[in-house]
Amino acid sequence: MKDFVSIRDFSPPEIQYLLLLGRHMKAQPETYKSALAGKTLAMIFEKPSLRTRVTFDVGIQQLGGFSLYLSPAEINLGRRESVYDVAKNLERMVQGLMIRTFAHEIVEQMAQWAAIPVINGLSDYSHPCQAMADYMTMWEIKGRLDRLKIAFIGDGNNVAHSLMFAGAQVGANVWVATPPGYEPHEDAIVWSWARACETGAGCHVSNDAKEAVTGADVVYTDVWASMGREAEAEKRRPAFKNYQVNADLFARAKRDAVFMHCLPAHRGEEVTDEVIDSPRSVVFQQAENRLWIQKAIMVHLMKDVPVGLMHPATAPELVHA
Ligand code: CP
Ligand code: NVA
């Protein structure tokens, strides 16, 4: 496990292990306060962020390490410098790299070319750190993940994909309901179905929000137009209006169902204030759990990456001394 690019890259026990480690981090943070002493995480952001930036930044500091924020203007990935050259530079300077970008292939290329761990902090295709925080939150609240009914209502986007992947890994029943034409990618559905068959999980995709929410343990939504697609917001609004999570729709879920959202939320669009501000909304617990699960991911990937001497060819006399 060098990188954390997609939840699909792992076995079910590896995902369970990371969730367990995240919960242990949260229960006993002191145990890990020097786990990444002296190590540096570079964070490349090509899109805006609140939660991802703050939780990685604070997380690595709590583990004894440092972070570097690299803004879109500084790196200008692929224009000022190629993805390959950025990877080959950074692997000599830092011990881990988090990247938030547009095309998923850029994350994959970075992971292929950099000798250090690469963590996907969101691409147009997936948001694996978010899904890990989400399943950690569901486990805390519901005491189990196996056979939980999770309804994702709205756009079949990056967040929906990662929820489907992780759900298939941990044995949950994920129901995705989108407007026609906004379903998840076909390859995401096929992979999730196949993995669900192995683990006893379920993956259902339809255009029926009411059916998806009926009897659900968790009701989840996300913005109707993701970062990079803001220009489509106006066009999407009429197509999505019957996919709003409001009190009527939420009432179809189980009486003890919780509401989830990765945030940022567009209140009055995909969710009403009444639902997101209700006592059954756990959106800020989800946001906090980004911190704990990412600390687990960073420790797991970065703990054995040495500071210096990654490239013995540059200092042979030290290596052979
Ligand atoms: N949920 C999430 O990734 O939030 P940010 O875009 O603020 O990082
Ligand atoms: N689907 C959203 C998630 C933001 C955390 C986006 O990509 O903008």
Closest to 217 measured CA to CA, from 177, 259, 246, 249: 259
Residues catalogued as catalytic: 100, 127, 130, 222, 262, 290
Q: What is the pLDDT of residues 98-115, one digit of tens each?
A: 999 999 999 999 999 999
DSSP string, 28-58: -GGGGTTTTTT-EEEEEESS--SHHHHHHHH
Euclidean distance between the first and final Cα of the chain, in Å? Answer: 31
Query: Cβ(38)–Cβ(113) under 8 Å?
Result: no
Q: What is the pLDDT of residues 43-55, one digit of tens each?
A: 999 999 999 999 9
Q: What is the pLDDT of residues 243-281, one digit of tens each?
A: 999 999 999 999 999 999 999 999 999 999 999 999 999
Measured distance CA(107)–CA(99) in Å, rounded: 7
Give the dihedral of Cα atoms 257, 218, 154, 240; nearest 10 deg: -10
> Distance of CA 292 to CAs 7, 133, 145, 205, 248, Å?
17, 8, 18, 30, 33
pLDDT for res 78: 87
Angle between helices 158-170 and 128-142 (to 10 degrees): 50
Q: Is it true that 7-126+289-302 and 129-286 share their CATH fold?
A: yes
Please state which CATH number belongs to domain 7-126+289-302.
Answer: 3.40.50.1370
Q: How far is the CA of 28 from the centre of ligand 1 (A)?
A: 25
Query: Cβ(222)–Cβ(262) under 8 Å?
Result: yes
According to CATH, the topology of domain 129-286 is Rossmann fold (3.40.50)
Residue ranges per domain, the chain? 7-126+289-302, 129-286
Give nearest CA residue, ligand 1 atom 4.
Answer: 51
pLDDT at 21 over 80: yes
Pocket test for ligand 1, best of 99, 120, 157, 263 (most atoms within 8 A of CB): 263
Ligand nearest to the CA of 133: 1
Give nearest CA residue, ligand 2 atom 2.
Answer: 226
Query: Is it true that the peptide bond before 264 is cis, omega within 30 degrees of 0?
Result: yes
DSSP string, 66-98: EEEEE-HHHH-BTTTB-HHHHHHHHTTT-SEEE
Q: How far is the CA of 320 from the centre of ligand 2 (A)?
A: 48
**Could you give the strand order of the β-sheet that contains 118-120, starting from the edge strand earlier in sequence?**
66-70, 40-45, 96-100, 118-120
